[in-house]
Amino acid sequence: MINREDKYQVKAKNGVVDFGIFMHDHRVRMSENRGYGSDGDVNRVPSYPFAGEWLDDMNTKTVFLDTATVDYGDLDFASLEKTGPLVKYDVTLPEQMQARLRGAAVAVTNKCVFDEGLMRACPALRLIAVTATGYNNIDIDAASRLGIAVANVPGYSTSSVAQFTLACILALATRLVDYDAAARDGRWTRSLIYTLGTWPTFELEGKVLGVMGMGAIGSEVARLAGAFGMRIIALGREGVKYDGGWERVGLNDLAERSDFICIHLPLSPMSRGIIGAEFLSRMKRTAFVVNMARGPIVDQAALNQALRSGRIAGAALDVLEEEPPPEDEPLLSAPNCIITPHIAWASVESRRRLVEEVATNIAAFLRGEARNRVT
């Protein structure tokens, strides 16, 4: 439960995160980073210069700054409590972080921003355990210079995101959202026949799925889509040898051949805006865009125009450039555009795995071992 005094919003646009409470607004620049579709390297850091004197002090206090981002009233934090004293906050505003981290050896967070100034102001801090795969809310270079380890959790949401992706593809193919609304708002009741045929539907068998980002999630989406008889092609780069057996094509071919474009790329300077006006202009008029990765990968203005002009048939978006979106976001009223609030990752099983992995990361660190380490 989020306390009234802690109620807040997080808005992200063009790499900037706004934390707002009532009339206050705080802006922090964040670096680009990976999203759902990235593949984590479990042991990129082979060793860590561990502070032996800190271990001798037995300071294992952990502060979880934003439990509301992962706990919807259905999680158990017993595994975290086993690593040492645990203090939990539903949400933490930027101006509250230093005080709440005072004396803590371990900080656990999903979206709280750690810049160099904050880390310098927390001399006891030895580990930032991120409850996510992406860690663009942390100044990694500064953490490394200050001897603060950072650990993330790769791969925990693969099944959840892949399942959600297929649900969106099926909803678009069947016009599920529209027919549900028509049954509830009286249009079916007023029909002169037993059914409604307002929106023609189609089968997935034989349709082409173009996957952008054939990592763990993209590969699982391809496997599930194959069960429906879809043909799979994947974005590739010329001269690069790939495993997996999927047909690799260039960006233009992917746009022109696909009936569904599924995005599972990390956000980077190369991927930012890759789905823009030119890409959309090459797509079939019967094709769809499905983005489960990061909002800025899609040029939202171009997508909005393509949807309203009939340039493409529809879209499903679990992420937007600004989250939560403003009330006047044009895509919220765009035709045949399913929008969900960045929830594809958040099945209860996925969130349980996440908490268990974070606890294991912390326990490994306290033993002087490197696990899922970024620094």
Instruction: Determine the topology of domain 158-339 in CATH.
Output: Rossmann fold (3.40.50)
Interacting residues of 107 by C-beta distance below 8 A, sequence separation 6+ = 62, 63, 65, 101, 114, 122, 125, 127, 128, 129
Q: Strand, helix or coil at 250?
A: coil
- Whether 36 shows a pLDDT value over 50: the answer reads no
Evaluate whether 374 touches 135 at the Cβ level (below 8 Å). Answer: yes
Q: At the fourth CATH level, which superfamily is domain 4-156+348-366? A: NAD(P)-binding Rossmann-like Domain (3.40.50.720)
What are the sequence ranges of the domains in the chain? 4-156+348-366, 158-339
Give the catalytic positions in this structure. 294, 323, 342
Evaluate whether 282 touches 258 at the Cβ level (below 8 Å). Answer: no
Instruction: Copy the structure tokens of residue 234.
Output: 């994947």
Instruction: Give 107's strand partners.
Output: 63, 128
pLDDT digits 0-9 by tens, 143-163: 999 999 999 999 999 999 999
- pLDDT reported for residue 58: 54
Which contiguous run of DSSP H or E holds residue 16?
A: strand 16-21
Separation of alpha carbons 256 and 210, rounded Å: 10
pLDDT band at 277 (very low <50, low <70, confident <90, very high): very high
pLDDT digits 0-9 by tens, 104-120: 999 999 999 999 999 99
Q: How many Cα atoms sit within 13 Å of 256 on the Cβ side?
A: 5
Fold match, 4-156+348-366 / 158-339? yes
Name residue, tokens 């890759």. Answer: 274
Evaluate whether 295 touches 318 at the Cβ level (below 8 Å). Answer: no
Q: What percent of the chain has pLDDT over 90?
A: 80
Q: Mean pLDDT of all residues in the chain?
A: 87
Residue burial 221-234, b: 16+ Cβ < 10 Å; e: rest: bbebbeebebbbbb
- pTM score, two decimals? 0.82
Instruction: Copy the structure tokens of residue 280.
Output: 């959309």
Q: Side chain identity at 260, as an amino acid letter? A: F
